[in-house]
Amino acid sequence: MAPTSNAFKALADPTRREILRLLRQGEMTAGDLAEHFDMTKPTMSHHFAVLKEADLLTSRREGQTIWYGLNTTVVQDLMAWAMDLMGGNDEKIEAPTQQKEDSK
């Protein structure tokens, strides 16, 4: 299954890529993550929302604290798709117009 455009949108931003990099070591609170960036809380919340919409982040609430983690399943799916695209799979990747015609 190919990754969604939301995942690519999320990964296009260097701040969001850095958030994911920080989360490789394990869960972090929103406040802990925000300490690594010079931006407002609403801007950080926007980045978290984009990453959650792309299903790249998990989140859980403990009282007033939100803990974020890396959704490794989706990240692995993205990596597998990219490897196939780069030649790791000998199957032909169809153009979107061909896929639409085949599904009729």
Q: What is the pLDDT of residue 91?
A: 55
pTM for the model stands at 0.71
Give the residue ranges of the chain where pLDDT is below 50: 1-2, 95-104
pLDDT at residue 1 in the model: 42
Q: What is the pLDDT of residue 90?
A: 53
Residues 6 or more apart whose CB falls under 8 angstroms from that of 79 comprise none
Q: Are 68 and 57 in contact (CB under 8 A)?
A: yes
| Selection from 85, 87, 78, 95 nearest residue 10 by Cα | 78
> pLDDT digit string (tens) for 68-89?
999 987 777 777 777 787 875 5
Specify whether domain 5-102 bears CATH 1.10.10.10.
yes
Q: Where are the domains of the chain?
A: 5-102
Give pLDDT, residue 19: 96
Q: What is the structure's pLDDT at 77?
A: 76
According to the model, what pLDDT value does residue 2 have?
Answer: 46
CA of residue 71 relative to chain centroid, distance: 8
